[in-house]
Structure formats: C-alpha cells, structure tokens
Structure 1
Amino acid sequence: MSEEPQLHEYRPGTTFPGVIGRTVDESSPAWPEPLRAAEGAPNVLFIVIDDMGYGQLGCYGSPIRTPNIDRIAAGGIRFANMHTTALCSPTRTCILTGRNHHSNHMAAITEASTGFPGYDGNVPFENGFIAEILKGEGYNTFAVGKWHVTPTDQTTAAGPYDRWPLGRGFERYYGFLGGDTHQYYPELVYDNHRVEPPKTPEEGYHLTEDLVDRAIAFIADAKQVAPTKPFFTYFAPGAMHAPHHAPKEWTDRYAGVFDEGWDVYRERAFARQKQLGLVPEGAELSRHDPDVQQWDSLSDDERRLYARMMEVFAGFLEHTDHQIGRLLAFLEELGVLDDTLIMLISDNGASSEGGPTGSINENKFFNFVPDSLEQNLAAIDELGGPKYFNHYPWGWTWAGNTPFRRWKRETYRGGISDPFMVQWTNRIPARGEIRTQYAHAIDMVPTVLDLLGIEPPASIRGVTQSPIEGVSFKDALVEASAPSSRTTQYFEMLGHRSIYHDGWRAVCPWPGTSFSESGRAFGDPITADVLRELDADAWELYHVAEDFAENHDLAAQYPDKLVELISLWYVEAGKYNVLPIDGRGQQRFAEQRPVIAKDRSRYVYFPHTSEVAGSAAPRLVNRPHTINALVEIPDGGAEGVLVSQGGVDGGYSLYLQGGRLVYTYNYVAAEYFHITSDTDVPSGRHILSMEFAPTGEPSIREGKGTPGTVTLFVDGEAIGGGELPVTIPIMLGLAAGVSVGLDAGAPLTDAYAAPFPFTGTIHRVVYDVSGEHIVDHEAELRAALARQ
C-alpha cells in the first residue's frame, strides 16, 4: 500500500508555494499552515479563589481541611509573600494582563467606576489578556466562573461584547459576569448568552459543582479531538465570596470547631504558620483589631451564631476544595496533570462585608442597613442554604487574615497578602517548598510567558501593546535563594494607600487604622484638605523585612525614610493613572455613567426574553415611578408574576394571585411589604399598573430610601394601595435584573412558589420614571388597549 502524499503547508500571509496550472492534474496544492502550539507546550491552569485570607487554607495554617489545594502546595511551591490589590476586579485584571489595576482602568470593582483614566472600568485593548496571547500561540482558551472585569453597563444583551470573555481571547466561557451570585440560583452566562442553571437546589444543584463540570467538559471536548493541543483554563469559582453557601452535610462537619472563638483560631493558625515556615520564627501576631469584639464579652447567643457562621464558611471552603479536586483528578485521568502549569491565588484578603455582627444578607452592607441579631439568630439553622445571602462577622475576617492586620478593601497586609502556589511537576522540581521572595499578581503573566518561552506580542489584533508591568519570578521557582525580582510596588484601594520598597512599607490608612479609632466610616470622602492632613500626619512606616505583620510603626524614628516612600508613592501614582484619590465606597455605585441607549424616562420590556441586567434596568430607587403591564387574562383568570426585579437579597415583584393584583417589596430581607388590590382583576385585555409616589426624603447613610405610597390600577382605575414606610436606598439587589413573566433566580418572596410564571399573556411591560401619574396617561392607556 502506498503512503499518502505529505501535505505541503505554508505560513498564512506568505506567497503560495504550490503550482497553479490550467487544470488540477498539472497543479500542485499547498495549504495554509494551521496555528499550532510549540512542541511540548504545557497546559496552563489558573485557579482564582475569591475573598480567601492568608490564614484560611489548611496548607497556610488553617484548621479547615483543604486536601486537594494542599496537594498542589505539596507538589510545588507556596509563596509567603504574594500580593494583590485588596479587591476582586482590580486583582483579576492584574492576573489576566500583567499590568497594574489603575493601568487597566480598574481602580475598584466595575460597579464603582468613575470618569477618570485609572477608574473608568474599561480595560484597554492595548493591555492584552494572557488568553489573547496564548490563543495566538495555538492554545485552546477557556474561562469558567466569576468574570467581573467588564463594565457593568456593558454586561447586557445589547453588548458591546468585546470586553466579555469571548472578546478578550477566551474561546469558551461559562459562569457569571458580576461580582458575586447566588450559589443555588446563579445568573449564568454561556459563551455570550444568558442561560438557566441545569438543575434546581431541590435537585442538588450547586454552582461550584456546575462550574467544575463545565471546565471538565470544555477540556474534554478539545482533548478528545486534539490530544496534544494545550489549553489555558481560567477557573474562578464564586467561592469564597458571600453568599457562603454549601450543602448542610459539608457545613455540619465543622460543628463545634470554632466554639473557642477567633482569638484562639488566630493563635493556633499563627503557630502552625511558623511550623510550616510561612512566617518567620521571630514574627509577632498583629494586635487584636479594635473593631472586633472580644469573644469572651459576647453573649451565648452571639457566640453560638458567630461560630455557626464560621462553620458554614469552613464547609463551603472544604466543599470548594473537593470540587477543585475533581478537576485535578480529571486532568490526572487524562494523563496531563504533570504537564500542566498550575497557579492558584486568592484575589484579596478575607472579606469584611459581613460587618461586626455578620449578616444574613450581604446587600445590607451595600445599602448601609444595619444587621439585626434577632433576625440572624432566627436564620441560624438555614445558614448555607438557598434562603439567605449570608456572610460571617469581622472577627472571622480578621482571623482569616492571620497573622496580618485588617482585611479586604484596605492595603494593610491583611487586605493584600494572599495565598499563592505554583505546580508544574514535569518542569519545576520543587516539592512542598516555601518561597519568601516578594511578588505581586501582575507578575503571574510574565512568569508564565517566561516559563513557556513566549515573547509578549508587539500587537494583538492590530492593537499595539503596552509594556507588561509585571516581572517574572521564574528564578525563584528554580532557586530558593534567588533574589526578589520585584523591589517596588504601590497600592491604592478606595483611598487606602501604601507602598513597598526594598523591605519597607509605608501605609496611609483610610478611613483610618480602624473605624473605632478614626471615628470615620467606610466610604467617607477624601477632600483636598483631608488629603493634605493625611499626607502630613497619617502615613505609617514598617520594616516588613523584620516586622512581618506590620506591628511597629517606625515613622517617628525614620522620618527621612518615610518621606522617601511617600514621594515614591506619588511617583508611582503618576506613572500608573492612580490619581485622583477617591475615598468613597458605596457612593460610587450611584455615579452617572455613559450607557449605550440614550437616557430615557420610559422602558419597554417583552416576555420570552433574557433577564434585563440590573445595570441596564430603570433606576427606581428614591424616585417616583410606574410599572404598566399590558396583559390578556383568559376566562377563569390567571396568576403568576408580571414582572420582578431582584432576589432573596432585595427587590420587588408585581403579580396576580388569587384573582388579585399584588405588589411585594423586599427591603433587603429585613422587612417584606405586601400590597394587594381590593378587588379581583377581570378577564380580558387590561393594563395592570402600580405607581410609587414618594412621601419623604431618603436617609441613605442610615440605610433608608425614600418612603412612599403604592397604588394599584386596572386600566387607570385605582383598585387598592398601601404604604412603603422604608425602601432600599442604593441597590435593589446585588444583581437585580428585570424578569418579565416570572420571578427568575433566587425568589425574592415566599408569598409564592418561584418562578411562578404568568399563566395569561403578557404583551409588554412599560416602566415610566418621568414622575407623571397613572391618571396623566389615561388616554394613552386606552389607546394602547385598543391596539391589542
């Protein structure tokens, strides 16, 4: 049997090397050469955990069992001195681009963008993603899980899609675009479109399991066709961000483990960190944080509640570790685990959004609504389940960042020093070793490129690329005694500033060293006068080469060194788009931003369409508005949701039930208001409406939006009403999309069994935020009815 002739290939864009005759028999073919990765190119796997502190993994001293993550550490290298930005979206852009977060225009989370170059949330195309680079080198590229690096106004079905995962170099995507999501009712995107979860919580659904299933499927799809083609997979579960959701059989494994409190946790974790070699033998544990209660001063009920909140977190983490283990086991089954470069990192320190007392609804934090011990205790047996959006208290946040002070959002080491490990069995010989070299998340991309022998491209898709700002730490992976390749790194997050240089750190905390000591609240603005005072008096100085946990402020002892570092911070700030300094927090969420569609007072929605993202929905908080549903009700009546927005964490629903029109308002799961019509809604074609009319002013810093009256109408005729004594002041919900014809996702009320789809016909739903009353539209309403 004769051998098949060898294909003649040529590089696309070069001259065709074959022969073109008048007929095929006197011609010789040649084919454009397919894009192939370099011979022996490894797979690359990034695992990005959310809100996980330095002292929360088993291999970093925690009592929480994380055997699969520990296996990565045992098979490779743990870093004791890795740093992030103190917040999720900014760090993720660093991980993906190798540039600083302000260079990426991502000074804070996307929802807090402002109109300045370092802050607008639009990662420039000249800052190429590692997915774009590796795709150009012949890799398959997959992103699974949390994204949160697309401007919120661009996460709608209207796009633009060029800053979604598939627009930034990933060939496949499955996950959620926002900052967090319900683990049992997630807001899922598959490639470029919204999808519903494949199962319900009652059928055993949990997001982390689903994400691992999808990651395995993406890899399997490609490997069964092209076994030698490498992949880059960016795996970013919603864990360990709130809500802390895990099946009860996992959370119950930790019953009683945390009953001795957060101080005991810290002492034991710190001792273990020293044994592991992560913390220098002479290091000191940071002080008891002034904002954290003394465990012994708490009531029995408080200790019982807070211990259970931590049990839920621990179960969530062990459950997450188990799912990561499934992914690693699949790679091992494929025979590719040993030739996969794995980097695992947390995006910031442990999170403090639960407040001093913990919360059953994280959305309270974003709306300045205080938590209630009574409400939290009432929920204790259901924490971790789908009913609540729960988060633990500050004490466990502080303990989770052992041995450091403070937490996420702040640039003390508790906010910016994070677990990080690297494993590549076939190429990195280290096993279970510790590295103390200074590194930052921006250094991951250049290190991967260095290990793979890839030069950063001069351009991507015709866009000239900016210099990568990170530096490779490849030498530290090979040689334990290699010097740190990074000697300087600035930090800024929500006005909290610091800088590292050659073993020293200067820190200017905002709103202060603690809330209780400063007398300020998170989100207090920094004016020009305040900034001058801060620069004159508030900077602290730490010799972290000897003072690992920033315990000894040397500012008075070394004033020249402090001035040097403050000046260096401003040099770096000018270099990387850090100015203007902005101390505001939640207030930034209300910032006016450009939108694709021109601002309007009327929004028209249709049934059988994707949920409208909250960022594109009409802004209803603290303003008059009406909702009008043009419907057809069959003989015998109909029931179900006409329109809803939000979920368990807050929102509203307008629906028919028992023949009556009902409006339910969920005030951050603290109070529920149900307003029902006085009469039944007749069959036929009708416009069913609700009108909200404010009756007072909001008290936003007290967690109270505008109070008002709600009136219900059929065809412009009032059929009932009631009072909303308090409303949500800033964010209806953490995602808060508008759904027509059902209550999608996590149900916002237990007044019905969600999704409670409408059994009649909805032609359209019209929102009006002009401030005009329903009666002003009577003629228009009748005309609309006539056209149906």
Structure 2
Amino acid sequence: MPVGIAVREAWVEDGQMSPKEFKEYRPGTAFPGVIGRTAEESSPGWPQPMRAMPGAPNVLFIVLDDTGYGQFGCYGSPMATPNMDALAADGLLYNNMHTTALCSPSRSCIITGRNHHANGMAAITELSTGYPGYNGQIPFENGFLSEMLLQHGYNTYMVGKWHLVPSEQESAAGPYDRWPLGRGFERFYGFLGGDTSQWYPDLVYDNHQIEPPASPKEGYHLTTDLVDKAISFIADAKQVAPDKPFFLDFCTGATHAPHHVPKEWADAYEGQFDDGWDAYRESTLDRQKQLGVAPPDARLSRHDPDVPEWDSLPPDARRLAARMMEVYAGFLSHTDHHIGRLLDFLRETGEFDNTLIMVVSDNGASAEGGPTGTTNELQFFNNAPEPLEESVRSIDELGGPTTFNHYPWGWTWAGNTPFRRWKRETYRGGVSDPFLVHWPKGFKARGEVRTQFAHIIDMVPTVLDVLGIEPPATVKGVSQSPLHGVSFAHTFDNPTAQTLHHSQYYEMLGHRAIDHDGWRAICPWPGPSFTEGGKPFGTPITAQDLTELDAHHWELYHIDEDFAETSDLATENRDKLIEMIALWYVEAGKYGVLPIDSSGVQRMMIERPQITAARTSYTFRPGTETLPAAVAPRVINRPFSITADVEIPSGGAEGVLLCQGANVGGWTLYVKDSKLHYAHNYVRRALHQVSSTETVPEGRCELRFEFEPTGEPDIAHGKGTPGRARLYIDRRPVGEADIPVTTPVAFNPGGMTCGANPGSAVTPAYQSPFRFTGTLHTVTVDLSGELITDVQTEIRMHMARQ
C-alpha cells in the first residue's frame, strides 16, 4: 500500500451498493482512488483527518502566579494544599526547577521552550522597549506547544491568564494573531493582561470580551469560573471524540494580587501566622528537610535587610500583616481546592492516569505589596502607599471585593523559604520554584524528589520527548527556530540520572545571574537589597554602573553544596567567577539579552507603535467593548475634556456616560438624580468630585467635563497633577471644584467604558453597571488642550498597566 494511505472496508446496507474500500490519504499526497466518467466507474478516497497516535496522553500544564518555593504543603509550608500534595505523593517533586523571575517572560518560556529574551520577553509586555529581546512580541518562528500539538491531532485549550500579547494589541481592533486563538489554541477563556480582580475580572471568551456570569453576591469567583470552563471545554470534545487527547494550559490568576478569597477560607487560618515571618521560615525549612525538598545541611539565607524583625513591629502592624497572610493562605488553599475539582473530573472520566500533568509557578513570591503590605496594589504602582492606620481600618475588608490587597515583603521573603529575595530578582527566591510532575501511565516512580537542575524552557522538549514528536520544521508556513531547552524525561524513573541542562543565564530588569554545573554567579541590581544598594527598584543602569558592577559586584555560590546561597565564594574563587561572568556574556549575546535595561517607570511611559496614527480626539459609543488602558486616551496629568451627546427622555435618565478604572481607583462621568457628576477615585484613598448646580434638561443636549491642571505632578511621591474640574450643560458652566491630587501613573484595572461601569463601581454613589438609561449618541474625549476655559501648558505622560 502506498505511504500515506489508510484503507478500511465500507459496509453498505440493503445491498444498494457493493462494498468498496474506504481509502484515506494524507493531504498533499496523491489521490488514491479512481476517477471515471461516473461514480459507478469510480472509487473514492478521503483526506485523512488529523488523528493523534492511539493512547497518546493528555497534557495539562497548571501554572500558578507568584507562588513561592515554600508555599505548597509538599514544599514544607503550613498552608493546606492537599491536591498539590497528592500529585507530589503519587508523582515527582523537583527541587531544582528554575524560572525567569517574572510572569510574561516565564510564560513565554513554558509555552515555547525558548529563552525569554529570544521570545522578545525581557520583561512583562507593559515594559516592552524597541530592541529585539525586549519588544514584547514573541516571534512566530518560536512556535507554541499548542501549535505543535495541534499538528498531531490534539485539542488545545487555554484557560486563565495569558499576558503574552503586547498591551497595545489587547483591544477589539486587534491584531489577533498573538491572542491565544492566533497561537494554536482552539478555545480560550480568561484574561489577557497581568492581573485582574478575582471578583470582577476582565474576561475574554475566545476573541471577544464578556462580563462575568455572576456577581460576588451570587458567589462568583474567578478561580471557580476558570475551573468550570476548563471542565466544560474537555467535556465538550470528549463526548464526541473520547479518544482524542487534549492539551490544556490552565493558568490561574492566583496567587497574584489581588489576594481575593471568600472570607471563610481566610478565617480558617486565624491566628496561625501570629508568630511572624521569621518563625515561618524556621519551621518551613525544618519540614523541607523532613520531606527531602531541601538537603539535610541546608541553611536559611540571611535575614533580609529590607524586612524588619517581626518583634520590632508595633502591635497594629503585626495584626495587619498576620491578617494579610491569613488571606493569602486562604487564597492558596481555595485555589488548590478548585484545581482539585479539575483533577476529580479527570478521574471520573478515566483520563487522570493518562494525563501528563506539570505544575509550576511563574516566579517566586511577589514583593509588590511593599514593605508594609497594601489594601490596594494600585498604590504600589502609583508610589502612593497608604499610612498604617488607613490600612488597619480596612482589615476586615481584606480579600473582599472592595480591596486589591497584597501582603508585605516579610511574607514574600518567607514564602520563598529557604532562599534569598523574591520575584523580579535572580537570587533563588526569584527563580527557584515549585514543580510537580504526575503521570501514572508514563512512569513508575511515586512520591520521589528529583534534584536535577532544570529550567522551564525544558518543559516543551520533555513533552515532545515523551510523545515521540520531533519539533516541527514549520508552523503555519513559518520556519521554526531550534528549541533552547532539553528533555528531563530521563529523570522520571532514574533519580540519579545526570541533568542534560548545564548552563542557564538569567536577566531581569538589570538583575543578572548564571547557573553552570552546580555553580551560580549573581550580579544584583541595585544591590543585594534595596537597603544595601541605596537605590529603589527601577533605577536605570548606566554604562559606568555596569563597568563597576562587572568589576566588583558579582557574587559566587557553589549551589551543589550551598542550597540557599549563604556563602559567597567570589573572593577565594576569582578564576571561577571570571569564567562564570564570561559565560554570562556569551549567553547574553546568543539570546539577545543586550542592551541591559533596569528602568521601571521610564519603560512604562515610552512611546510604542500603535495600529493607528497618534490623535487627540477619541469618539466612543455605548455597547462597545471596554478599551484596555494601553489604547485608551491618556488623560492622566494633562488637560482634557469629555463631551457627551445625549437625549434625555421625559421623566429623566441616569447612568454612566464614560468611566475608567474601578473601586480601587479611577474616574467616572455620570448622571444621577437629574444632575451631572464627575468623580475621581484616588487609589481608593480619597474621592474628589463635582456636581452640577442645575438639572440635566429633557431632550437632546450636550454634557461636558473639563479638567485644567493647576500645578505639576509629583510622581515620586504618588501625586498626579492637581487641577480644576468644570461641568457644562450645553456649553454653560454649571459646576466647578478643585481636585487637590489625581492618580499619577496608572489605573489598574484601567479599562475605559462608554455607557456603563462594568465590574466594581468607581464611586459608591451608584451600583455597577449603572448603564445609561437615556439615549447616548457619542462621547468624545479631547486631549488637544482646547478647553472652553483657559488652558495651561499641556503635560504629556504615558501610563501602563502592570
């Protein structure tokens, strides 16, 4: 039989036709049938459907967010993660897996098998710059695992956090080629950005926005919703094609901030963290040694200089910090519980034993809560931390819909026990993460620890290895680059097998490191800690800085003998250190790491290519999708106006004309009680507003708001420009107020919506979505500075969403 032809017998009922061979052929090969003058004289053949190899396993990636090495129960944590623990007990736990230290870069590695700079993902997409390693656009020659498995008969699903598309491409205008459905996933349900509210998420279904199917009062939570959707995707296909395998990339919003969870889950941990972060680290390391996830001679890394001693905190600060950790612990346990529902579904359907499951976090625990923690992460990004007394007043709201909370640095440091530092930095606390593998039909080992060095770029090569699939030469006609990772499948049943991954570089926001055959060299920036470096996170590196760093500030650790980087050997092993530094530069050249850029806020504000020419006037209509912050008109720190063309029916109307943000920060222009109102919610700390002195008339009219700056912003201290707010009805002034401070950098969530306030309400004056009940023809935002009132010099500034 010719290659590429499958032959089956076609049984024909009632003798209407004589039996013929049922022939299939691979598309692109010769037609195997016979074509005569009539069907009677001919023999058919069919293009062969794409089918996976019989018995091919399902593949399930479970990617958590900001979950540290010491936070799963099976990694020594006191927090309950019974489903993760069960996977470890019936599978393999790796104690030497590494990530990039930040989410978008790590996710790009997980899904492509290539290093993050080679993916254009030097940092999160919101910090992209105009260099190949930094532009936030994963090249199409770096194919995704979804694209590879689609060619081998798999269903492919993406559920949860994406964060792999440039922010300016997240809108309904596209382009869509870097959205999940453009990169080999057949179905998608989740969110495109870096984080979202667990109570009021920014949801996308396939290629369009949707609103959550329920409210928090009705029991809605994003994690529950994501698991429900993952189960339904699998069930939809399995009822038709039960033998067709799937690849599911399941990426929770948890445990990234906001730490949102039903109160009873947090209350279950009441009092369990009152001893503080130092005690947590000590007890966790003891358990890690007992479990074998840390060597018997492992020592805790030093007390971090940026973290206060627990006993030095005043009572209110300890009470607040303990509650923030209770909320986080409840959030993690709640996430584990719902992942357990997904695993239970696989058991019920008989798919569990033949599903290759890999569980990983994208980086170490996060320090974005600042030194004291916060009730609103937006304050961190706007340099506007709230005083302790304000945070304490909100202690009972933590985890609920009115907060966007994150714990303090001390718990970040503890969450990465026994390692140093955290997310965004390349000490082991930032890049060494929990990693579990479970596949009962694939290997015999149960409940064992694997110590071989590995990196998340190895996940794709390992999957292809066990499936017997060669990396494709092309994807959608695009020639493919080589994979950078190597398979670790040989370690599944061989605990003493040598790693095949010998060298791995790291660079994240100027913080550098390299692993090579059990040695580790690190060059921290701005220093081993903020206290010692004397500079804040995001300080740009100059050429002079880099020369000084390379000459005097690299550290050297023998990780094979010093698990937690406790003994710097740079002085006594100078030759080894020089060898490691040179190797870092070789790898940097190979993978597009240069130029080194450690800047933070500066990168958030730079100009990026847009799909349309720059303009100063934007027109919106109700019923359209929410604009992501990256493509919405930038109204921060500048004069602007909003003009609504409305028609008010007899008896009046009410509702939102235009708004941006949410209850943790934003602004809204709306009609209520027959008056026109504007409110600016300053990072949840203050609400500044103005209302019209006249009623809004019936009939067609023009409603207008203007903002005129009256001073300069003080971004370093969390203050946007002050200004004068004015309201107009049919171009007559009807209200005026001074706003002493505005949001300086960004809103998060920062979407702009016309005709409604989806999600949580920007102001407590109304309940969302508060859709406008009159006729709203258009709303125009003008950034030209052409106000009805006098205009001061326009301040131009750019914001981005973290």
TM range (shorter): over 0.9
Whole-angstrom CA distance in 1 between matches of 2:761 and 2:22: 59
- Once the two structures are overlaid, the 10-residue window that deviates more, 688-697 or 341-350, is 688-697
Amino acid at match of 1:759: T
* 1:435-477 Cα shifts (integer Å, max 9, x gaps): 0000000000000000110000001110000000001111111
Whole-angstrom CA distance in 2 between matches of 1:2 and 1:618: 63
- Once the two structures are overlaid, the 10-residue window that deviates more, 643-652 or 305-314, is 643-652
- The 8 Å contact of residues 402 and 664 in structure 2, kept in 1 or not, is answered as no
- Alignment-derived partner of residue 587 in structure 1: 602
Whole-angstrom CA distance in 2 between matches of 1:370 and 1:2: 73
Please, which of 738, 761, 769 is the counterpart of residue 775 of structure 2? Answer: 761
Matching of residues 210-359 of structure 1 within 5 Å: 210-359=225-374
Please, which of 407, 410, 413 is the counterpart of residue 398 of structure 1? Answer: 413
- The 8 Å contact of residues 178 and 735 in structure 1, kept in 2 or not, is answered as no
1:87 deviates by 0.2
**Partner-residue secondary structure (3-state), 1:243:** coil
Q: Does 1:696 align with 2:711?
A: yes
- Alignment-derived partner of residue 44 in structure 1: 59
- The 8 Å contact of residues 642 and 742 in structure 1, kept in 2 or not, is answered as yes
1:2 deviates by 9.8
Task: List 4+ stretches of structure 1 deviating above 4 A.
Answer: none
Whole-angstrom CA distance in 2 between matches of 1:751 and 1:372: 25
- The 8 Å contact of residues 182 and 746 in structure 1, kept in 2 or not, is answered as no
**Partner-residue secondary structure (3-state), 2:106:** helix
Matching of residues 421-460 of structure 1 within 5 Å: 421-460=436-475
- Alignment-derived partner of residue 374 in structure 1: 389
Amino acid at match of 1:649: V
- The 8 Å contact of residues 626 and 774 in structure 1, kept in 2 or not, is answered as no
The alignment yields a C-alpha RMSD, in angstroms, of: 1.2
Amino acid at match of 1:137: H
- Alignment-derived partner of residue 750 in structure 1: 764
Please, which of 77, 81, 86 is the counterpart of residue 62 of structure 1? Answer: 77
TM-score w.r.t. length of structure 1? 0.97
**Partner-residue secondary structure (3-state), 2:469:** coil
- The 8 Å contact of residues 644 and 740 in structure 1, kept in 2 or not, is answered as yes
Q: Does 1:546 align with 2:561?
A: yes
* 1:145-184 Cα shifts (integer Å, max 9, x gaps): 0000001011100000000000000000000000000001
- The 8 Å contact of residues 10 and 22 in structure 2, kept in 1 or not, is answered as no
**Partner-residue secondary structure (3-state), 2:492:** helix
Runs (5+) with no aligned partner, structure 2:
1-8, 13-18, 792-802
- Once the two structures are overlaid, the 10-residue window that deviates more, 651-660 or 115-124, is 651-660
Amino acid at match of 2:189: Y
Please, which of 426, 440, 445 is the counterpart of residue 411 of structure 1? Answer: 426
- Alignment-derived partner of residue 785 in structure 1: none
Whole-angstrom CA distance in 2 between matches of 1:529 and 1:706: 34
- The 8 Å contact of residues 646 and 748 in structure 1, kept in 2 or not, is answered as yes
Q: 1:29 to 1:653 in 2, by over 3 A?
A: same
- Alignment-derived partner of residue 177 in structure 1: 192
Aligned residues: 776
* 1:688-732 Cα shifts (integer Å, max 9, x gaps): 11111111111111111111111111121111111111111111x
Amino acid at match of 1:758: F
Whole-angstrom CA distance in 1 between matches of 2:476 and 2:281: 49
* 1:580-636 Cα shifts (integer Å, max 9, x gaps): 111112331111100001110000111111111111100111111111111011122
Whole-angstrom CA distance in 2 between matches of 1:555 and 1:510: 17
**Partner-residue secondary structure (3-state), 1:616:** coil
**Partner-residue secondary structure (3-state), 1:14:** coil
Please, which of 38, 44, 60 is the counterpart of residue 23 of structure 1? Answer: 38
- The 8 Å contact of residues 110 and 457 in structure 2, kept in 1 or not, is answered as yes
- Alignment-derived partner of residue 147 in structure 2: 132
Amino acid at match of 1:743: N
* 1:118-167 Cα shifts (integer Å, max 9, x gaps): 00000000000000000011000000000000010111000000000000
- Alignment-derived partner of residue 502 in structure 1: 517
Q: Does 1:471 align with 2:509?
A: no
Q: Does 1:713 align with 2:728?
A: yes
Please, which of 612, 625, 628 is the counterpart of residue 613 of structure 1? Answer: 628
* 1:184-234 Cα shifts (integer Å, max 9, x gaps): 100000000000111010100000000000000000000000000000000
Whole-angstrom CA distance in 1 between matches of 2:417 and 2:186: 39
- The 8 Å contact of residues 520 and 556 in structure 2, kept in 1 or not, is answered as yes
**Partner-residue secondary structure (3-state), 1:678:** coil
1:774 deviates by 2.9
Whole-angstrom CA distance in 1 between matches of 2:651 and 2:601: 47
1:370 deviates by 1.8
- Alignment-derived partner of residue 753 in structure 2: 739
**Partner-residue secondary structure (3-state), 2:571:** coil
- Alignment-derived partner of residue 197 in structure 1: 212
Runs (5+) with no aligned partner, structure 1:
778-788
- Alignment-derived partner of residue 784 in structure 1: none
Whole-angstrom CA distance in 1 between matches of 2:724 and 2:523: 46
Whole-angstrom CA distance in 1 between matches of 2:669 and 2:389: 29
Q: Does 1:111 align with 2:120?
A: no
1:776 deviates by 9.3
Q: Does 1:774 align with 2:788?
A: yes
- Alignment-derived partner of residue 685 in structure 1: 700
Q: Does 1:661 align with 2:676?
A: yes
